[in-house]
Structure 1
Amino acid sequence: MWFGLVAALLLAGCATRAPLPVQRTPEQVRADIVARMPAKTSNREGWAADIQVAFFAQDIAPTPENLCAVLAVTEQESTFTADPRVPGLGKIAREEIDRRAASMHVPKLLVSAALRLRSPNGRRYAERIEHVRTERELSALFEDFIDMVPLGQRLFGGLNPVHTGGPMQVAIDFAEAHAQDYPYPVDGSIRHEVFTRRGGMYFGIAHLLGYPASYDAPLYRFADFNAGWYASRNAAFQAAVARASGIELALDGDLLLPGAPLDDPGATERAVRALRSQLGMGDAAIRRALEKGDGQDFEATDLYARVFELAEAAARQPLPRAVLPGIDLHSPKITRKLTTAWFANRVDDRWKRCMARH
C-alpha cells in the first residue's frame, strides 16, 4: 500500500488529487525530512520515520510543501517534544477540579478528602497533581481519578477533561474519530496513542493535511489547524455576507450556531437571510447550504456563488476566498493575548525557513 502511492493532496493548490510526477522511496522521504528539520532537534531520524509512515499510510503526498507544513506546526506546538511540558499544569488541574466542584456545590472539604486518597500508582492524587508536568501525565491522573474515586465520576461524568495532546497538540476527539486506518497496534486506547510521537504525528498530520482545500497559500491551512477545517474559507464567506448585507459579522468561520432551530438562527445565518430576496432562496434552502460549511462542497452551492457575486458587485472588485479568522485564543495554558492569526503567521514563518533549508 505504502509503495503504491498514486495520489497527492497538495497543500496550497488543487482540491483534487493528482498523480505524483515522481514517487520517492521511504528512505528518500525520511532523508528529506531530516534535512529540513531544525539542526538542534534530537533524534531526527526517529521523527522522520514516524512522519514518513503517517504520510504513506494516509496517502498524502510527501512534497516539500507538505513536509514543511508538518514540521512547522510541530516546531510551533512542541519544538519536537513528543509529550511537551506545560508550565503550571498542576495549578491548572487543581483549579479545574475546584471549579467543577463549586459549580456542583461540592464542599471543599470533600474535594480535599478525595484528593488525599491513594491512586493506583501508590501516590496520593493531590501529590500527583502537584507534580504533574505534561498532558499525558495529567490525562492518566484524571483517568485514575474518574475510574477509582466516586467524586471523580461525579465531577467529570466519565469524560477526561484533557482534550489535546502530543507533539502537534491534536484534539483527542478528532483522533478517535479518524482512527479507522491507524497503522500501529493501539496501546490501550487512541487517547494513549495521541501522547506518543507516532500517534501524535499521525493524527496531527491528518488534521493538518487530511482534507482538500482550494487555498492559494499555506497560511490559511495553518489557520484552519488552529480554528477548524475550512475556517479561513468560511471567514471569507462571512466577510462577503457582511459586504453584501451591510451587517457587521465576526469572521470566526462558524456559519451556523450549533443546534439552533430554523426559527432562531445564529448571526451569520441571520445576515444571509437578510439577502434572501436577492439570493432567490428561502430560509430552508439557506440552512441546507450553510450545513455544507464543514466540507469543500460548500463552494459548489448556489448560495456561496451568489453571495460572492453580490459582495463583489458592491465592492466593485474581486474578493478573497480565504481570510484569517478573527479568533482570540482562550485556554488555561495561554497566559497572554493570542489569536488564530498570530498562530498562523508564526507557523508560516517557520514553514518558509523550512522550505529554504534543503
Structure 2
Amino acid sequence: MSVWPHMNKSSYLQPICRVLTVLAISTGLVACGDNSLFSKDDEKILQEKQIKRLIPPHASNRESWAKDMSDIMDELKIEKSKQNVCTIVAIIDQESNFVANPRVPGLGKKAVAEVNTRLQEKFTDKLGETLGTPIAGYFEKVLKTQPSPENSYLKQLGKVKTEQDVDVLYRQIFDYMSKHYHVSALTGAAKLVGQDIGERMNPVTTLGSMQVLVRYAQDHQKDRMNVNELRDYLYTQYGGMYYGIHRLMMYKADYDKPIYRFADYNSGMYSSRNASVQKALNTLTDSELSLDGDLLLYDKNENVQSAQSSTELAISKLFAQNGVIITARQLRSDLKEEKTQNFEKTQTYLTIAKLYQQKTEKEMPYAVMPQVVISGPKLSRDYNTNWYASRVNGRYETCMHRAKRLKES
C-alpha cells in the first residue's frame, strides 16, 4: 500500500536455455540450473486441490484461493508448475497473508498524521504551487467540516481500518469537491476538481491482496472499467490476484533464482538485471552508481525525463574512453528499453557486457540485488528491497518444501 508514499548462475545463459525458454509454456520462472522449470520433479502440472495444499494453512478458505489462482493461471496461460504456483503463493502471503482487503494496524492514526503534517506539500507536489495551494486549503476545510462537523471526513479518516476505507473516503471527498468547487479565486482560472485530480491525489496507489499499482491495472485492463470500478475490482479476491499475477509473471527474464523476480516485484520489472549493469559500470569506471535498477530518470508519472541520469553519463564516459561509437540519441533509445527484455539485445547492453568480460575475464552477472529503500507511513521503519525479497524467498522455500510432500493424485 502507499498512503502518501515517500517515493513510491549469474552470467549469460547457455544457448540451450534460450531454446527451452522459447519452448516453455510458462511466462514465469523460466531458467536453467537447479531451479529449472523442466527438472524431473517439477514436470507435473498441479491440479486445483494440489494448489490448495501449497497455500499456507493460516489462509481462510484455501479452496476458494486455489480455485481463483488456478483459473487465473489458465486465463493468462501460465503453467501450473510447483515453482510458478509457489512464486505466486509467496508474494500473496507476503503482501496480505491471503486476505483480499487486509486490515492495517494503526492505519487511521497514520492517515490523520499524514494529513496534519504533509497535506499542502502533497498537493503542491502533485498539482504545482498555483493550483495545489488553494485546492489544499479547500480540501482541508472540507475534511474538517463536511459532511457535518460532528461526523467530518477527518473524524472518519481516523477510524479507517483498511486501504479500501481510505480509498473510498478520499473518493467521497473529491466527489463532494467536484460538485462544490469550480473556480480558484487565487488563480483566476476555472479549475474543475474532477476524477482526474481526485485520482492523482488519492493516497492509496497500490491495492488488494497483491498490492498492485492502479496505474499498472489501468494499462493492462482485461475489461473496460472506469478507475473507480477498477479500484473496487482490485479489492476483490479474484481481481487483486488477477492483476498481481499478471504483474509478477507476465514478463520473461533469465533469472536463475526466484529471489530476483521477488526483488523486481518490489522495485520494478528488470530492476535486478539493470542493477547488474550498474554494478558492472562501477567496475569499469570510477563511478559509484546506486544499484537502484533505474538507468534513466523518471518523473512521478514514470515518464522519462530529458536530463541525463548518473548511469547514462557513466555509460557515455565509458564508451568514449573505449572508442565505442554511439550517438547520444541511440544511447537514449537503448536505455528506454530498460523495462523490457529487448534491452539485452541493444548495442549498449551488449557492449557493456563485452567490456566487462574483457576487463575481468568473467561474464557479466545477469542479475544482482537492487538497493532500493522502502519507506512509508504504514512501516515502522525503512526497509530495502533485499529485506523484502529475502522475506518472500523464505515463504517461497517453505512452499516448495510443502510441494515435495505432494503425492500423486
TM-score tier after normalising by the smaller chain length: 0.7 to 0.9
CA distance in 1 between partners of 2:228 and 2:292 (Å): 36
* CA root-mean-square deviation: 2.9
Q: Which amino acid aligns with 2:120?
A: A
Q: 1:271 aligns with which of 311, 314, 325?
A: 314
Instruction: Answer yes or no: is 1:115 the counterpart of 2:144.
Output: yes
Structure-2 residue corresponding to 1:144? 172
CA distance in 2 between partners of 1:215 and 1:145 (Å): 45
Structure-2 residue corresponding to 1:300? 345
Q: Alpha-carbon deviation of 1:126?
A: 2.4
CA distance in 2 between partners of 1:109 and 1:63 (Å): 53
Structure-1 residue corresponding to 2:358? 313
Instruction: Answer yes or no: is 1:73 the counterpart of 2:118.
Output: no
Structure-1 residue corresponding to 2:214? 172
SS of 1:131's partner is coil
Q: Which amino acid aligns with 1:340?
A: T
Call closer, same or farther: CA 1:124–1:192 in 2, change over 3 Å.
Answer: same
Q: 1:215 aligns with which of 239, 242, 255?
A: 255
Call closer, same or farther: CA 1:252–1:86 in 2, change over 3 Å.
Answer: same
Q: Which amino acid aligns with 1:101?
A: Q
Q: Which has the higher contact order (CA 8 A, sep 6+)?
A: 2
Instruction: Answer yes or no: is 1:339 the counterpart of 2:384.
Output: yes
Q: Which amino acid aligns with 1:111?
A: E
CA distance in 1 between partners of 2:226 and 2:86 (Å): 27
SS of 1:157's partner is helix
Call closer, same or farther: CA 1:154–1:297 in 2, change over 3 Å.
Answer: closer
- CA deviations on 1:244-270 (whole Å, 9 max, x unpaired) are 122110010101112432xx4111000
- CA deviations on 1:43-95 (whole Å, 9 max, x unpaired) are 00011111111111111111110100111111111111111111222233223
Instruction: Answer yes or no: is 1:39 the counterpart of 2:68.
Output: no
Call closer, same or farther: CA 1:181–1:109 in 2, change over 3 Å.
Answer: closer
Q: Alpha-carbon deviation of 1:97?
A: 3.3
Q: Which amino acid aligns with 2:168?
A: A
Q: 2:282 aligns with which of 236, 242, 251?
A: 242
Call closer, same or farther: CA 1:213–1:316 in 2, change over 3 Å.
Answer: same
274-283 vs 135-144, which moves further: 274-283
Checking the alignment, whether the CA contact within 8 Å between 1:226 and 1:340 is kept in structure 2 is: yes
Give identity over the alignment, percent: 34
Call closer, same or farther: CA 1:292–1:108 in 2, change over 3 Å.
Answer: closer
Structure-2 residue corresponding to 1:190? 230
Q: 2:325 aligns with which of 267, 280, 300?
A: 280
CA distance in 1 between partners of 2:142 and 2:213 (Å): 32
Aligned residues: 340
Checking the alignment, whether the CA contact within 8 Å between 1:90 and 1:130 is kept in structure 2 is: yes
157-166 vs 221-230, which moves further: 157-166
Checking the alignment, whether the CA contact within 8 Å between 2:28 and 2:251 is kept in structure 1 is: no
- CA deviations on 1:297-343 (whole Å, 9 max, x unpaired) are 10011211110111222223233110110111121212213100111
Q: Give matches, 1:1-40, under 5 Å.
A: 7-13=25-31, 24=45, 29-40=47-58
Structure-1 residue corresponding to 2:16? none
Instruction: Answer yes or no: is 1:49 the counterpart of 2:67.
Output: yes
After TM superposition, the score normalised by the length of structure 1 is 0.86
Checking the alignment, whether the CA contact within 8 Å between 1:97 and 1:155 is kept in structure 2 is: no
Call closer, same or farther: CA 1:92–1:70 in 2, change over 3 Å.
Answer: same
- CA deviations on 1:207-234 (whole Å, 9 max, x unpaired) are 1101111111111000000001100011
After TM superposition, the score normalised by the length of structure 2 is 0.76
Instruction: Answer yes or no: is 1:101 the counterpart of 2:120.
Output: yes
Structure-2 residue corresponding to 1:58? 76
Q: Alpha-carbon deviation of 1:138?
A: 0.8
Q: Structure 1 regions of 5+ residues with no counterpart?
A: 1-5
SS of 2:47's partner is helix
Q: Which amino acid aligns with 1:223?
A: A
Call closer, same or farther: CA 1:254–1:109 in 2, change over 3 Å.
Answer: closer
98-107 vs 144-153, which moves further: 98-107
CA distance in 1 between partners of 2:227 and 2:372 (Å): 35
CA distance in 2 between partners of 1:187 and 1:301 (Å): 36
Q: Alpha-carbon deviation of 1:155?
A: 12
Q: Structure 2 regions of 5+ residues with no counterpart?
A: 1-23, 125-131, 182-191, 299-303, 404-409
Q: 1:163 aligns with which of 205, 213, 218?
A: 205
CA distance in 2 between partners of 1:88 and 1:97 (Å): 15
Instruction: Answer yes or no: is 1:124 the counterpart of 2:152.
Output: yes
Checking the alignment, whether the CA contact within 8 Å between 2:143 and 2:152 is kept in structure 1 is: no
